[in-house]
Amino acid sequence: MIEVTNLEKSFGSVTVLKNLNFTIEKGEVFGVVGHSGAGKSTLLRCFNALEGYQGGSIKVMGKEVAALGREGIKTLRRDMGMIFQNFNLMARKNVFDNVAFPLEVWHTPAQERKRRVLELLDLVGLTDKAYQRVQNLSGGQKQRVGIARALALSPSILLCDEATSALDPRTTITILELLENIRKSLDLTIIMVTHQMEVVKRMCNRILLLDGGECQGLGQTEAFFLAPTPNVKTLIEDEFTLIPGGTNIRMWFPREISQNSVITRMARALDVDFAIVGGKLERYVDDVRGFLIINVDDEHLEKVLNYLQEKKLFWEVMDDAS
């Protein structure tokens, strides 16, 4: 769907993206994560030619973006809907007119436009708000308008730039659920730029980790979180206070193991006691995974580590500083 090779992008003398290589497959949810200023938005804007690039190539559906003329860019943008962190709706217009805007740009006849807008509002659950001004809507509702507007031209790719960053956690979930449903029913490819790990874990099949405009990691979401590289770890903050003394071990639960009670079984098998420091069960793309941090007395440490090794569990010894 999108093929990026050796991409280079700079603003004047400042290089913002360098040497990026990856492909995004049709139908997947592709996450782009990284700290603020990493170049995530810039990368996204290169996809639909809101920004140009200086080197390498971006091919969207087989066509080189930089080689497109005015009409080509217009068509490219029709095929890529975009939603934004701050919604970017026209504040003085009502919900209907905002959703109708892309259709007006493309000279859709008024009747057809009306039919389409109502259909879209139904899809995002805002039929009853059609003639309200967007100013008076909640954040979640505004983003629904944004999604409806982005879908107006029936794109095959949806670009999301921090689409849930301005929303509270509960609203974030409803928006993500909406996106997931839409992706399934409309067969969309979604590219999500975000710095929210919950969003990545819940939605994305694959992730590109950007730092300073360079790729710091690319792969399946599971692999990212089950065996995190140091770069990834700095992004996954956790807020557990570790118990001083003994050794803290973080155990990750991949798919096959999470349902079984690993901990209790280990306690029985080894006949040792350990304290549970904390843990988290998380919803990944399609099921529940998690990790647990336990504190083991030094005298039992070797036994425990051997057991973990033997059972092929993912684990790490946490240093006290973290």
Ligand X SMILES: Nc1ncnc2c1ncn2[C@@H]1O[C@H](COP(=O)(O)OP(=O)(O)OP(=O)(O)O)[C@@H](O)[C@H]1O
Q: Which is nearer to ligand X, 45 or 129 (CB)?
A: 45
Interface with other proteins (CB under 8 A), residue from 106, 181, 220, 317: 106
Interface with other proteins (CB under 8 A), residue from 26, 63, 74, 255: 74
Say whether residue 50 binds other proteins (CB under 8 A): yes
Tell me the Ramachandran region of residue 59: left when phi exceeds 0, alpha when psi lies from -120 to 50, beta otherwise.
beta
Cα angle value 214/219/220 (rounded, 5°) = 150
Site track 38-77 with ligand X (rule: CB under 6 A), x = hit: xxxxx-----------------------------------
Interface with other proteins (CB under 8 A), residue from 1, 8, 54, 101: 101
CB 85 to Mg ion: min, Å: 7
**Residue 38 near which of ligand X, other proteins, Mg ion, none (CB within 5-8 Å, type-dependent):** ligand X
Cβ atoms of residues 241 and 297 within 8 Å: no
SS3 category, 143: helix
Q: Per CB under 8 A, which of residues 116..175 are in contact with other proteins? A: 149, 152-153, 159
Say whether residue 93 binds other proteins (CB under 8 A): yes
Q: Which is nearer to other proteins, 82 or 266 (CB)?
A: 82
Question: Which of 244-265 are b and which e, b meaning 16 or more Cβ less than 10 Å from the residue's Cβ?
Answer: eebbbbbbbbbeebbeeebeee
Q: Which region, judged by CB under 8 A, interacts with other proteins, from 83-91, 166-174, 242-250, 297-305?
A: 83-91
CA distance 57 to 287: 36
Cβ atoms of residues 279 and 318 within 8 Å: no
Q: Which is nearer to other proteins, 90 or 236 (CB)?
A: 90
Site track 187-226 with ligand X (rule: CB under 6 A), x = hit: --------x-------------------------------
Q: Which of 177, 215, 179, 172 is nearest to 197 (CA)?
A: 172
Say whether residue 37 binds ligand X (CB under 6 A): yes
Say whether residue 91 binds other proteins (CB under 8 A): yes
Strands 288-296 and 274-283: antiparallel
State residue 313 phi and psi, 5-degree precision: -90, 155
Cα-Cα end-to-end distance for the chain:
40
Per 3-state DSSP, what percentage of the chain is helix, strand, and coil (rounded to 5)? Answer: 40, 30, 30
CA distance 82 to 303: 53
CA 216 to chain CA mean position, Å: 16
CB 39 to ligand X: min, Å: 4
Say whether residue 61 binds other proteins (CB under 8 A): no
Q: Per CB under 5 A, which of residues 28..67 are in contact with Mg ion? A: 41
Q: Give the residues lining the site for Mg ion (CB under 5 A).
A: 41
Q: Give the residues lining the site for other proteins (CB under 8 A).
A: 48, 50, 73-75, 77-78, 80-82, 84, 86-93, 101-102, 104-106, 149, 152-153, 159
Q: Give the residues lining the site for ligand X (CB under 6 A).
A: 11, 16, 34, 36-42, 195
